[in-house]
Amino acid sequence: MPRDNTVALYPDLPLTLTEAGTGRPCLILHGGGGPATVVGLADHLAQTMHTITPTLPGWNGAPRPAWLTGIDDLAIAYLNHLQDLRLRDVLVVGSSIGGWAAAEMAVRDTAGLITGLVLIDAVGVQVEGEPITDFFALDARGVAEYAWHDSDRFYVDPADVPAGRLAVRQANQAAMQVLAGDPYMHDPKLLRRLRRVDLPTLLLWGESDRIVTPAYGAAFADAFPDGRFQVVPEAGHLPQVEQPEATFALIDTYLSRTGADADSAR
């Protein structure tokens, strides 16, 4: 049964967390769409793992201190939390900007806490010829067309959204703009640094993602020494929402293979 709690990572940075399950620790990082976009993923992984799903500071009313202005700040904060808990053999799964944060964590993990990485339609690097779509310039219809395979199914007219929910969305977007707006949705140094991330890394990509294309994802995967790239058919930027069964099956296969690799290496 999922349980919610808040931990004071720093005096001015409380982390709101949802935890479930037992076993290998798994940190799950959501993207700009908020915690709801990874609920199903967390439920699936909690069947075999101890999942820890924070709400990104600034999202859904969670406080964001003034000094937390970049994804690198977020990555360091999450690494500090793993260290405080004395966790080892951690799988980190990140979606969109959560995937960016996961990659930034991996390049800074000098203690070797992280042993597996799953990035789902992650942003965070600059790929020549494959620019990241300017999400902030899109209207609601444009977001649906660029982010989803089935745009008609997932399009929501802002006029139909209750005022309170719309305010939360706008606050989430404002937080995302602070954390990832300049330089836009990437760290210019990250692609080069990934060559030092010696972890089995799975990159899952929706075939219809037009925020960051599959070609962008393939280049992202190539930057890792052990990057494995898989396309999810009939999915866009959030395959764990649009095609959950296919997405979960690919993650399960990755976990079974990397588990076998780890056993044989001992």
DSSP assignment of 205-238 equals EETT-SSS-HHHHHHHHHTSTTEEEEEETT--S-
CA nearest 255: which of 81, 102, 113, 116?
116
pLDDT of residue 2: 87
In the predicted model, is pLDDT for residue 75 greater than 60?
yes
pLDDT tens for each residue of 77-136: 999 999 999 999 999 999 999 999 999 999 999 999 999 999 999 999 999 999 999 999
Per-residue pLDDT band for 265 (boundaries 50, 70, 90) equals very low
Domain 3-265 CATH superfamily:
Alpha/Beta hydrolase fold, catalytic domain (3.40.50.1820)
Q: Which helix or strand (DSSP H or E) is residue 49 part of?
A: strand 49-54
Cβ contacts of 110 within 8 Å, gap of 6 or more: none
pLDDT of residue 263: 44
pLDDT tens for each residue of 165-214: 999 999 999 999 999 999 999 999 999 999 999 999 999 999 999 999 99
pLDDT of residue 112: 97
In the predicted model, is pLDDT for residue 264 greater than 70?
no
Cα 217 to Cα 61, 88, 96, 132, 153: the distances in Å are 31, 28, 11, 11, 25
Domain chopping of the chain, boundaries = 3-265
CA distance 105 to 89: 14
The arithmetic mean of pLDDT across residues 239-254, rounded, is 98
Q: What is the DSSP letter of 56?
A: P
Q: Which residue has the tokens 């399960």?
A: 252
pLDDT of residue 1: 81
In the predicted model, is pLDDT for residue 231 greater than 80?
yes
CA nearest 105: which of 32, 45, 187, 11?
187
CA distance 104 to 187: 9
Per-residue pLDDT band for 11 (boundaries 50, 70, 90) equals very high
pLDDT tens for each residue of 26-57: 999 999 999 999 999 999 999 999 999 999 99
Average pLDDT value over all residues in the chain: 95
Q: Is the pTM of this model over 0.85?
A: yes
In the predicted model, is pLDDT for residue 257 greater than 70?
yes
pLDDT tens for each residue of 132-165: 999 999 999 999 999 999 999 999 999 999 999 9
